[in-house]
Amino acid sequence: MKRTKPKVPEAAEGAAAPGRAPTQQRSRERVERLLNVAASLIAARGSAALRMSDVAEKAGVSIGSLYQYFPDKGAIIRTLAERYNAQGRACIAEALTPVRDKAGLRRAFSGLIDTYYAIFLAEPVMRDIWSGIQADRTLQEIDRDDSRINGAVLAAAMARARPRADRAALENAAFLVMQLGESTMRLAVSVERRQGDALVEGYKRMVLREIAPD
């Protein structure tokens, strides 16, 4: 089966690589090329086998130039992770910002779960990066911060749908829902597909009762 080349999400506005900030168009294009090459290598071999020399060679740059932008492969992986997260946050905000009632909240969040699961299934780079989260403390922090940001968006939607609910309780519940969602997706793509589908459906039923109870 022909492997589809993974598409690196575009950088959020103002985002820069962990090393030297690309201030010129040529430098920005070089960073994008490096990230695309790294994503292709991760898709083919996994992040554990990623080597800086391979990235430089396939991108057509010197190893010294690569190190100017990314001091180590961890910096590349974290940059990719942060870009996937930025893409996810935009999707979540777009879906939840219009929510005004419980029925709308259930529809929007149910659709988000399905969308996110489909992305995990289709995107080998995203799966690989987050499968190694327990081995990288910085990735753990990125994951937790992302859940907190997304949780705040969910909590705001819950507050609009349930205006009499305690706001602090909503914020804690939303933070937990988002963190458990990440864990569920990682577990679901690590097992046989039928079981993975069942796990995601179970998560969906559980969280919909929590965020928008009857």
Q: Are 180 and 207 in contact (CB under 8 A)?
A: yes
**pLDDT number for residue 23:** 62
Residue type, 136: D
Q: What is the pTM of this model?
A: 0.82
The whole-number pLDDT of residue 21 equals 54
pLDDT confidence of 164, banded at 50, 70, 90? very high
Most confident of 81-90, 114-123, 200-209: 200-209
Q: What are the pLDDT digits (tens) for 36-57?
A: 999 999 999 998 899 999 999 9
| Amino acid residing at 158 | M
Average pLDDT of span 83-107: 96
What is the 3-state secondary structure of the chain?
A: CCCCCCCCCCCCCCCCCCCCCCCCHHHHHHHHHHHHHHHHHHHHHCHHHCCHHHHHHHHCCCHHHHHHHCCCHHHHHHHHHHHHHHHHHHHHHHHHCCCCCHHHHHHHHHHHHHHHHHHHHHCHHHHHHHHCHHHCHHHHHHHHHHHHHHHHHHHHHHHHHCCCCCHHHHHHHHHHHHHHHHHHHHHHCCCCHHHHHHHHHHHHHHHHHHHCCC
Segment 3-44, tens digit of pLDDT: 344 455 555 433 444 555 556 888 889 999 999 999 999 999
Architecture per CATH, 25-71: Orthogonal Bundle (1.10)
- For residue 183, the model assigns a pLDDT of 92
User: Which of the pair, 129 or 161, is modelled with greater confidence?
Assistant: 161
